[in-house]
Structure 1
Amino acid sequence: MNNNVIEHILDAFKAPLTNPVLIFSLVLLIILLSPILLRPIRVPGIIGLILAGVVIGPHGLNWLENNSAVNLFSTIGLLYIMFIAGLELDMNEFRKTKHKSALFGFFTFIIPITIGFPVCYYILGYGVLPSVLIASMFATHTLVSYPIVNRYGISKHEAVAITIGGTILTDTAVLIILAVITGASHGNINQQFWVTLGVSFAVFLFIMFGIIPRIAKWYFQKVESEKTGHYIFVLTVVFFSAFMAEIAGLEPIIGAFAAGLALNKLIPHSSALMNRIEFIGNAIFIPFFLISVGMIVDISVLSKGPTALIVAGTLTVVAVFGKFLAATATQLTFKYSTSHRNLIFGLSNAHAAATLAVIMVGYSNNIIDENVLNGTIVLILFTCIIASIVTENASKRVVREGHQDDKHIEHVEESEEQIMIPIANINNMEPILDFATLIKSKKSPYPMNIVSVVPNDVQAEKNLVEAKRNLENTAKYAAGAENEVELLTTIDINIPAGIARMAKQVMADCVIMGWPSVTSFVEKIVGEKSESILNNTDTTLFMCRIEKPLITHRSITVFVPPLAESEVGFEYWLEKVLVLSKELTLPISFVCDPRTESNLKESIEALNSSVVTNYALYEDWDNIYGLATFNNSDSLLIFVSSRSGEVSYRDSLDGLAKRLGKYYKNQNIILIFPSRQENQHIDVYESVEASPIFRKISREIGNIFNKEKNN
């Protein structure tokens, strides 16, 4: 009995492993341990996973072989890398750098081919077709080290943006060359070949950028509550796009990257959905791909005679040197620093996905021999190691130089920012939490403070327990986007006073609250809650009415009254609007007077923002309803107001929330009250001011006397 058990156990662990559960457990163990074990000797985790693949692969200990399960997860990981690269591409930055991306794409394509072809043809002695194929392989690169720049928070840096843009250009060009060479080797190059390739490519682009974004927008809007369904929908788009690219005669990685670009505007970078996409990819799929790359490497080729060594060494040197020259040419052209050059070189030096695609197709069609295949595998190992080390070091230098993604946007004490969200209606909390997540400083270590104030009455204790239960449900939702929240409950006779007290207690820089509800007759007499909160706080306050998903908008329209630039909180709310625009990839239209326009342009230029902005002039700010002429049904409307007594305050802003709520019934609205200097208002007693109607009458009387005086 015991012998049977032992034999059964030994059989289960016989190499190569065949039990799918055991294989999966081994791979997960490697993903878990390799970064931990290699951290003391400062080897990047990516290299650790590739080396682990070499060790356990068929050419190492032979614990794992390239079976269908491993190949499936590897393919998913490869497509995931390309998809995330397209998804995280800052489209505003890309538009700014499209010419630079095109030039880098040209450099990183033409320089390696120019060096590679004569080396293969004259030195290694290959024919024209094999030499062109190998030379084009030098031009490709895979964003294997992209997770490193992502981890360091510089994925939206200009150098990264042009490298990603260049990647898709050069890889597309190489994969088209591959299709042409394959056709030429079979003697199929004719007019029909070119027509078929052109038509299929055009149809692919139309489906990806004409149809899929519309379907995705409809789905996200109609099936808003199904969060799991959103992720499954995204995966479906990725793999269907990869399949369509293959049908069109391109490589699947082009389809995955195109899927990322197609969904870019619909998945904000700080959203819960983006968090899920990155989490699952970085935890499972991408590590699987890196391990599978290592499993292909056969170190024993180096012992198969001098030819294999010469070919492997030559290919590796030419590949690295060509990419270094391309990065240097880019640096000299755009006057980048050395660390930026190294970042471009590190990202573009790794040869894996497209390289494997080119070589495997060439090998299977007998265009290249085994020496080139084995030499390419060695090239993949060395270039991935070099790329990882160079990218890691360059990323550290770029961060030390202060070039992180959010450096241009967040300006006002971003590392100390505190956001407070008072709960009024638990049913409206999810969109407000999503909005807060989008605009919150990525540098702030503090959690978002979610506050519930319970009235001090006979049911106070019971209400307090209920409030805590509601807060816990809210915390669960926030955890979906990995948002830390601080749950605060308090009892106060006056709810607005309690909210104001908690805002001071947590030293909130920003209070984000829901839209004021319909007021009762008593509240109209003694003062509305939202008005009382405004009067009792000094901090920037956002009132949000978000009834539709933010991704349904095509633009943001911001209405800025005269002298808003003179308010204390002007820079803060402007930075938050720019952050929101960048997250949603939407252009901003500012409606303001000429002086405010000039100040806005100056401030945005100082913030060095890549957000697309335009301006419309409006002078008659005493007539708020006249702003409706600038309204677009697809726009997110943001109105900048002011507290009574502040420099930009005017009578037309009085009770603005109530009027906007009635006038713009089917649109998302955000109303901003900028922060003000402390102690500029009476805390204990409300400031005694004439009501708006009397102030208006007095102003008109003044105008009559001025006219008589002038006459």
Structure 2
Amino acid sequence: MERISQVLAMEPTAQVLGKEPIIPFAILLVVILVVPILFERLRLPGIVGLVFSGVVLGSSGWNLFHPQSPIINLLSDIGLVYLMFVAGLEVNIDRFRQRKKRSMGFGSFTSSVSLAIGTLIGRFFDFDWNTSILIGSLFASYTLLAYPIINRLGIVNNEAVTVTIGATIFTDIGALLILAVCIATIQIGEFSFVKLITSLGWLTIYSIILLVGLNWLGKEFFRRSGDDEGNKFLFILLSVFIAALGTQLIGIEKIFGAFLVGLAVNEAVGEGPVKEKVVFVGSVLFIPIFFVHLGLLFELPTFATSLESFQLTLLIIIGLIVSKFIAAWLAKLVYRYNWLETLTIWALSMPQVGTTLAAAVVGYQAGLLPRVVLNSFIVLMLVTAILGPLITSRIAVALTASPVPEPASPTLTDPKKEETRSTFTIVVPVHNPQTQQYLIEMSVLLARQSSGRIVSLAIATSTANMDAPQLELSLQRSERLLAKATVQSRVFGLEAEPLLRIDDAFAPGISRAAREQNASLIVMGWGKRTGLRARLFGNVIDSVLWASHCPVAVTRLVDSPRKIQRILVPLENLTAPALQPVQLAQMLAEANQSQVTVLNVCDRRTSSSKIAARRSHLSLLVSKIALPNPPEIQIIAHENVVQAILQAARLYDLVVLPFTRNRTIAGGLAISDVTSQLARQLTCSIVMLGEPQRTQNGTLLTGISNTTTVV
């Protein structure tokens, strides 16, 4: 044993790690878990931390990992395929259709200008035409890294923003097509126009088969699978890797097939639990490993000591920024956007993460791009991933002060003001006897204020046999909960209607019962989520939010709702659809004779005139929902939104928050949400109002539900 220990001690660390595949995999998991959190606390994107980790762990740092390691190469290849699949899956086809002509127009501007400037840079450094054109094509695409920012600010429906979002489908396909042509050219060997046309013909046929055939097959499979999310998930994964294999068989890179699958199943998957799980698996494991591997490929000594490498990188960064600005300026001239919208387009189209990096790695592996170019594009990603969201957050805020159209009627409408509307119905799922009383009490206050009714709902989970003892026990427990709910509601002056339902699971049972009862609101309880399974596969709240047809109020009540006297409603999004939490708070306030304060936090450098404009804008929005007792409007200038709200919340009994989730970027790495931070730190009662999925305009909802569970 001593001799073995001595031999192991003499072996280099890298060799020991190379013999034990579990060890590097464990290190990768630690990096993926810890590093993005640390970098996000420094207000830097998590992907920057992952690439930096790769540099530190590779030959430029501790030399723990080799970029050609079989296990890392395998996981990185899966991450590369997954990255492009997610890029296609998250292309917002609805946004593209809304402004199809203008999206194609801006897409052609940014693609052509970027292609020209990138090609000129390549030729300036004496690269051949094939490599130079590929460099230009890498400039064309962009990643909507700042989408969570514009979504939070409520400017997603601004035409300039919609056009920028829609154009991604054009730029991504264009960049991948040029990559395919460039690689096909070198595979042909001696250039042959006939062979090139043949390759493009096969590519066209294969693309049509995927986009049309897989779209139909996906919809049919999802329709026949019903609620079986596991089979849907496996169908998507199988489609991705079979399509990637198919593209390789016809001589095209696998990332093109993965992207096409994302586009093909885009509508079939839709916005729901299946998409959330598909994206989640890639974003927490495979895609981060791809970015770590990217850092392993980066040669820091070569970059730091080579003047030519530094000059190339600097020119690529300047060329990219200038080309995106020229494209935004052309959009301004043609479509008559103002400077604020123009700069927002420029900032949104600046980050080069998903498609750009994937195509750069494939070009490097195919021998089209030298290592020095790959190094330059890695640095470009790091710079633009920081610069793009930073500029967007500074500029796009001012777009929220622009005049807005007449707001649509809020989802939560007082039935007393609409005689033609059916009775305001509140469905209260009862499951935990300890929290049931406050849920019933809250529902009674809201129902009495709106002259509505309450349906207390208990779900008994079904079994294969309807005479099974487990089902009988579940039914007995549900009946006891419903009887208790009826007594509690009667005490508060409004008797709840009991509803017992046998269903496969809690979440589908709640959503279906709410639909059958034509519910106007679902009131649920929540607590801190624990366990890996809850995070990986979601919980009842997640599933209800995905499936429900009406708003869902998720509550954490630390005291009786009748004791609530002061209610705070923080609003980040100063648009009419964001006012549903205000209306819910006002209904509760009228029942309790309480006071509501609507709070908006702006940057501490905001001028007094802009603060006054925000206050006026918010007052106008609130006045249009016709509240009998308008809430107080408060604007706070502070450098930290979360800390400002937490300080203000100390004086309030209840905080009402919008229940939203951030849209994951093409890289799949979620950006932290203000709501989730508040939910972890607030000590008073909380109500989160989640809007039905159909009102989210195609955005992915991630946020506080990642830290909650039904109690």
- Which category describes the TM-score, using the shorter chain as reference length? 0.5 to 0.7
* Residue aligning to 1:14: 14
1:190 and 2:193 correspond: yes
Question: Secondary structure at 1:490's aligned position in 2?
Answer: helix
* Residue aligning to 2:663: none
Q: How many residues align?
A: 474
Contact 2:17 2:23 in 1 (8 A): yes
* Residue aligning to 1:451: 457
Shift of 1:111: 0.7
* Residue aligning to 1:385: 383
Question: Secondary structure at 1:452's aligned position in 2?
Answer: strand
Q: Using a 3 Å threshold, how does the CA distance of structure 1 residues 95 and 453 change in structure 2: closer, same or farther?
A: closer
1:319 and 2:316 correspond: no
CA distance in structure 1 between the aligned counterparts of 2:515 and 2:146, rounded to whole angstroms: 48
Shift of 1:72: 2.9
Give CA deviations for 1:520-570 in whole Å, capped at 9, x if unaligned. Answer: xxxxxxxxxx8xxx9xxxx8489xxxxxxxxxxxxxxxxxxxxxxxxxxxx
Shift of 1:387: 2.6
1:200 and 2:203 correspond: yes
Shift of 1:23: 1.5
Shift of 1:194: 0.7
Q: Using a 3 Å threshold, how does the CA distance of structure 1 residues 79 and 180 change in structure 2: closer, same or farther?
A: closer
* Residue aligning to 2:171: 170
Contact 1:107 1:329 in 2 (8 A): yes
CA distance in structure 2 between the aligned counterparts of 1:286 and 1:515, rounded to whole angstroms: 38
Greater shift in the superposed pair: 92-101 or 488-497: 488-497
* Residue aligning to 1:97: 99
CA distance in structure 2 between the aligned counterparts of 1:512 and 1:499, rounded to whole angstroms: 27
Match runs of 1:93-492 below 5 Å: 93-121=95-123, 123-141=124-142, 162-163=163-164, 165-182=166-183, 184=185, 186-205=189-208, 207-269=209-271, 271-336=272-337, 341=342, 344-351=345-352, 354-355=355-356, 370=370, 373-395=371-393, 398=396, 411-412=409-410, 420-421=426-427, 451-452=457-458, 466=474, 490-492=484-486
In the alignment, residue 203 of structure 1 is paired with which amino acid?
Y
1:501 and 2:495 correspond: yes
Match runs of 1:78-93 below 5 Å: 78-93=80-95
Q: Using a 3 Å threshold, how does the CA distance of structure 1 residues 104 and 451 change in structure 2: closer, same or farther?
A: same
CA distance in structure 1 between the aligned counterparts of 2:279 and 2:289, rounded to whole angstroms: 14
Q: Using a 3 Å threshold, how does the CA distance of structure 1 residues 202 and 128 change in structure 2: closer, same or farther?
A: same
Shift of 1:358: 5.5
Shift of 1:8: 4.5
Q: Using a 3 Å threshold, how does the CA distance of structure 1 residues 304 and 494 change in structure 2: closer, same or farther?
A: closer
User: Paired residue for 2:72, among 61, 70, 73?
Assistant: 70
In the alignment, residue 388 of structure 1 is paired with which amino acid?
I
Contact 2:50 2:295 in 1 (8 A): yes
Question: Secondary structure at 2:427's aligned position in 1?
Answer: strand
So what's the TM-score if we normalise by structure 1? 0.55
CA distance in structure 2 between the aligned counterparts of 1:516 and 1:176, rounded to whole angstroms: 45
CA distance in structure 2 between the aligned counterparts of 1:7 and 1:312, rounded to whole angstroms: 45
Give the % identical residues: 27
Question: Secondary structure at 2:190's aligned position in 1?
Answer: coil
CA distance in structure 1 between the aligned counterparts of 2:88 and 2:489, rounded to whole angstroms: 46
CA distance in structure 2 between the aligned counterparts of 1:316 and 1:358, rounded to whole angstroms: 17
Contact 2:51 2:291 in 1 (8 A): yes
Shift of 1:516: 11
Contact 1:309 1:375 in 2 (8 A): no
Give CA deviations for 1:327-355 in whole Å, capped at 9, x if unaligned. Answer: 34334544456665455445543445655
In the alignment, residue 207 of structure 2 is paired with which amino acid?
F
Shift of 1:112: 1.8
In the alignment, residue 112 of structure 2 is paired with which amino acid?
I
Contact 1:93 1:158 in 2 (8 A): no
Question: Secondary structure at 1:451's aligned position in 2?
Answer: strand
Contact 2:14 2:63 in 1 (8 A): no
Question: Secondary structure at 1:349's aligned position in 2?
Answer: coil
Contact 1:330 1:341 in 2 (8 A): yes
Which ranges of structure 2 fall in alignment gaps of 5 or more residues? 416-423, 431-453, 461-469, 499-509, 523-575, 581-623, 626-711
Give CA deviations for 1:474-513 in whole Å, capped at 9, x if unaligned. Answer: xxxxxxxxxxxxx987354899999963489xxxxxx976
CA distance in structure 2 between the aligned counterparts of 1:15 and 1:156, rounded to whole angstroms: 55
Q: Using a 3 Å threshold, how does the CA distance of structure 1 residues 17 and 396 change in structure 2: closer, same or farther?
A: farther
Q: Using a 3 Å threshold, how does the CA distance of structure 1 residues 6 and 164 change in structure 2: closer, same or farther?
A: farther
RMSD of the TM alignment (CA)? Answer: 5.1
Higher alpha-carbon Rg: 1
Give CA deviations for 1:114-167 in whole Å, capped at 9, x if unaligned. Answer: 22334443x434444443343333334456677877898988876565445433
CA distance in structure 1 between the aligned counterparts of 2:265 and 2:513, rounded to whole angstroms: 29
Question: Secondary structure at 1:217's aligned position in 2?
Answer: helix
Give CA deviations for 1:421-460 in whole Å, capped at 9, x if unaligned. Answer: 3679xxxxxxxxxxxxxxxxxxxxxxx9963399xxxxxx
Q: Using a 3 Å threshold, how does the CA distance of structure 1 residues 191 and 309 change in structure 2: closer, same or farther?
A: same
Contact 1:73 1:288 in 2 (8 A): yes
Give CA deviations for 1:665-696 in whole Å, capped at 9, x if unaligned. Answer: xxxxxxxxxxxxxxxxxxxxxxxxxxxxxxxx
* Residue aligning to 1:44: 45
Question: Secondary structure at 1:329's aligned position in 2?
Answer: helix
CA distance in structure 1 between the aligned counterparts of 2:488 and 2:116, rounded to whole angstroms: 76
Q: Using a 3 Å threshold, how does the CA distance of structure 1 residues 179 and 221 change in structure 2: closer, same or farther?
A: closer
Q: Using a 3 Å threshold, how does the CA distance of structure 1 residues 392 and 72 change in structure 2: closer, same or farther?
A: farther
